[in-house]
């Protein structure tokens, strides 16, 4: 009997079996009577019906494990293929920790690391619109992106939209080389960096190509209705009042909005009021909107960052 198993296209075979397929050699030892060959992204299993069926079930567990944890180790292979009774020996206890948001690339556990970050996670379950306001390094954007990725992974939404107002922090985008996308991509880099921590490269590329994940400047949101989406407005302190109103009214059915910003780093011209400040004032009494205020105590970068923020606050 011969069966072909297609490896999911968002998973590179190298990530499962190693550079020289050393992990595949280890797997073959568990099925000595079975011929297991990898050709491109397809596994060919040849042997008795029982061996082929058993091995196919194990590989399905491998794919499930990788989708869940974005990582496969020799220990994981031993747990899956070394179990003769067919029971699933995948340890998901890490996901049951209330502070864990998801498991990122190479098994990195993404979790809330401070009390206020945890409040953001909790409020995301209660309300569909959240304002997360705090200084640089307090984890507001990173936590928000993690929540969005988890929602996509759990099929709670169909897409993620990440946006920022294209306001230069003392620089002029017009003088940068390239077309509009090439000019804006460096400005959106922090969002790409967060996604690369949480989604394997091949899958991330696929999501971006299919617009399952969209990263765009705030001006591109005008006229749209954002349904079935997890939407994050980052650097919201640099949105004008009209831009903020435009963005907030894009909210469609089954949508989650998180607005993040640092009110101490406003780059708008002096004659313009920050849309974030204005929104916090006029929306503060609306029951179904949460406001989370992070502080220097939530800074999770180098210990000097908190001290620098305090020094500039004097």
What pLDDT, in 10s, does the model give residues 161-184? 999 887 654 444 454 455 555 656
Q: What is the pTM of this model?
A: 0.72
Confidence at residue 21, expressed as pLDDT on a 0 to 100 scale: 82
Our CA dihedral for 191, 194, 195, 199, rounded to 10 degrees, sits at 180
Of the candidates 250, 230, 68, the one whose C-alpha atom is nearest the C-alpha of residue 149 is 230
Please report, for residues 13, 17, 72, 82, the alpha-carbon distance to residue 20 in angstroms, rounded to integers and kept in the order given. Answer: 10, 8, 15, 22
State yes or no: pLDDT of 151 exceeds 90.
yes
**Can you give the residue ranges of every domain in the chain?**
2-81, 98-313
- Give the CATH class of 2-81: alpha beta
The predicted-structure confidence for 274-294, as pLDDT tens digits, reads as follows 999 999 999 999 989 999 999
Give the model's confidence band at 86: pLDDT under 50 very low, under 70 low, under 90 confident, else very high.
very low
Neighbouring residues of 287: CB distance < 8 A, sequence distance ≥ 6:
none
Cα–Cα distance, 50 to 272 (Å, whole number):
71
98-313 is classed CATH 1.10.150.120: no
State yes or no: pLDDT of 304 exceeds 80.
no
Angle at 88 between CA 84 and CA 93, to 5 degrees: 140
Give the model's confidence band at 88: pLDDT under 50 very low, under 70 low, under 90 confident, else very high.
very low
Q: Determine the average pLDDT of the residues in 144-171.
A: 84
Give the β-pairing of 100-103 and 229-233.
unpaired
Q: Are 77 and 26 in contact (CB under 8 A)?
A: yes
* Helices and strands counted in the chain (H then E): 13, 11
**98-313 has the same fold as 2-81:** no
């Amino acid at each position: 009997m011969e069966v072909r198993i297609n490896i999911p296209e968002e998973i590179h075979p190298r990530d499962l079996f190693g550079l020289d397929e050393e992990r595949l050699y280890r797997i073959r030892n568990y099925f000595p009577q079975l011929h297991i060959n990898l050709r491109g992204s397809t596994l060919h299993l040849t042997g008795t019906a029982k061996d082929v069926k058993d091995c196919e079930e194990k590989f399905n567990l491998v794919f499930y494990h990788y989708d869940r944890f974005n990582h496969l180790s020799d220990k994981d292979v031993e747990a899956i293929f070394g179990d003769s009774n067919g029971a699933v020996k995948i340890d998901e206890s890490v996901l049951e920790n209330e502070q864990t948001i998801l498991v990122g690339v190479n098994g990195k556990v993404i979790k809330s690391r401070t009390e206020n970050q945890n409040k953001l996670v909790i409020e995301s379950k209660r309300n569909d619109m959240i304002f997360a306001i705090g200084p640089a390094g307090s984890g507001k954007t990173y936590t928000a992106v993690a929540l969005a990725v988890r929602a996509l992974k759990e099929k709670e939404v169909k897409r993620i939209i990440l946006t920022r107002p294209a306001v230069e922090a003392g620089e002029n985008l017009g003088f940068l080389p390239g077309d509009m996308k090439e000019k804006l991509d460096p400005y959106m880099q922090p969002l790409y960096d967060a996604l690369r921590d949480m989604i394997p490269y091949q899958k991330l590329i696929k999501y971006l190509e299919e617009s399952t994940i969209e990263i765009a400047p705030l001006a591109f949101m005008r006229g749209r209705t954002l349904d079935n989406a997890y939407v994050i407005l980052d650097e919201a302190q640099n949105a004008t009042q009209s831009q903020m109103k435009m963005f907030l009214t894009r909210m469609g059915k089954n949508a989650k909005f998180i607005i993040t910003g640092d009110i101490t780093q406003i780059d708008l011209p002096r004659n313009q009021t920050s849309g974030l400040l204005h929104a916090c004032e006029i929306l503060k009494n609306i029951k179904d909107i949460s406001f989370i205020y992070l502080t220097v105590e939530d800074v999770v970068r180098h210990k000097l960052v908190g001290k620098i923020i305090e020094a500039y606050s004097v």
